[in-house]
Amino acid sequence: MKALRQLGFLKLNFRQDAPSEEEDRVLTLFRNRAELKKAYGELQDEVYRLKDRIKQQEGATQRVQEMLNALETRLGVTDTGYPALVFYQLRRLWQSGRELIEQFVADLVAKQDERERRQHLAEHNRRQFSRRQAVEKQLRSAESLAAEAANLVAELEAERARLTRFWHYFKRRALEHRIGSAVAAAVAANATLVDARVAAEELDKEPMPEFPGLSLESRRAINLAAISYAETLCLRLVKTRLVTLAREATQRREVTDDYGSQSECEALMREIENAQAIVQGRANIAQEITSRTERLKQVVRYRGATDTSPTADSLAFSEGDVMANEPVGASAARMPNVLAEDTWDLFRILLR
């Protein structure tokens, strides 16, 4: 014991002191440093990405500038200038056909979208009307039952209040049991009424369901109309080689000299100008598209149940179409399979 008392001057502290403010600041600084390093790394990655994009854009700009310089050189010489004019006029003819079909499809989509949206709203309103009738019927029934239960409780309590004589003791006891049962029934009726009111409020708060978009049948019908329009434009130009030449010009990036001499180029440009007028013509266009659409409905096939575009090999030609073995005119071309050959960039236009 004496030895222990001699060691009494040793004071051992077994408690852990709370972190000081200085330690908190150090921890905060470390956390901030880690966050800053992470943000800096992300910024560095973004800088590298932007530099790569700038290099890519500079390369694209350089290629375009080289193309412009080559075009300027070609246009400065008569022998190469006329083929360049024919080349870009053919590309413009192809673009005109594509724009016509695109606008046609956009108009059909807008009309059908409005029609199906109205139908979607009408169907929703009919469903809501039927549900609202059922909910209101339940609400009226619950209100009637709650009112009857409350009236019964009030009548029994009034009857009990009249039984004040001592000889009414047994009647009051029997009445107490009836009042208890009536109160329980009234509580249940009120709970049913509350549930019916909640159901009515939830029905009123239900949002309008989102329109799912055009139906599969509508998209198929619009695509068939677009294919019919493409075929109609080809039929209008079937006595020429312009559709083939326009497709070849569109597939190339640089001008070609395959259009002949100056006189041949001038004749071809006049032919392109006439073709532009024919393509832009609106006379009987609706009837032609309708008749060809009806023909397509009889022959097209779809690869899957959810496909919106028919298979290319199902676009068979009937007797009313241009036949491959009997061309019209000396320079006539056969009627192309617009879907297989992607005429007028049809795949970019068709609805998915």
Question: Among 20-29, 34-43, 145-154, whose mean pLDDT is lowest?
Answer: 20-29
Query: Half-sphere exposure of 22 toward its Cβ, with a 13 Å CA cutoff?
Result: 0
Structure confidence by residue, pLDDT tens digits, 232-258:
999 999 888 899 899 998 988 888 778
Q: Is the pLDDT of residue 112 over 90?
A: yes
Of 251, 227, 238, the C-alpha closest to 311 is 227
Residues with Cβ within 8 Å of 101's Cβ and at least 6 positions away in sequence, in order, are 226, 229, 230, 233, 344, 346, 349
Structure confidence by residue, pLDDT tens digits, 296-333:
888 899 999 999 999 988 886 544 444 333 444 434 44
Residues with Cβ within 8 Å of 352's Cβ and at least 6 positions away in sequence, in order, are 219, 308
Task: Specify the pLDDT at position 71.
Answer: 67
Structure confidence by residue, pLDDT tens digits, 176-186:
888 888 888 88
What is the reported pTM?
A: 0.68
Structure confidence by residue, pLDDT tens digits, 251-292:
888 887 788 888 888 999 999 999 999 999 888 888 999 999
pLDDT band at 74 (very low <50, low <70, confident <90, very high): low
Within 10 angstroms of residue 275's Cβ, the number of other Cβ atoms is: 22
Q: Is the pLDDT of residue 221 over 50?
A: yes
**Which segments of the chain does DSSP mark as H helices, in order?**
2-6, 21-75, 78-162, 169-205, 216-236, 242-251, 262-280, 285-299, 346-349
Of 236, 247, 230, 246, the C-alpha closest to 90 is 246
Within 10 angstroms of residue 128's Cβ, the number of other Cβ atoms is: 15
Mean pLDDT of the chain: 82
Residues with Cβ within 8 Å of 332's Cβ and at least 6 positions away in sequence, in order, are 238, 239, 240, 322
Task: Specify the pLDDT at position 179.
Answer: 81
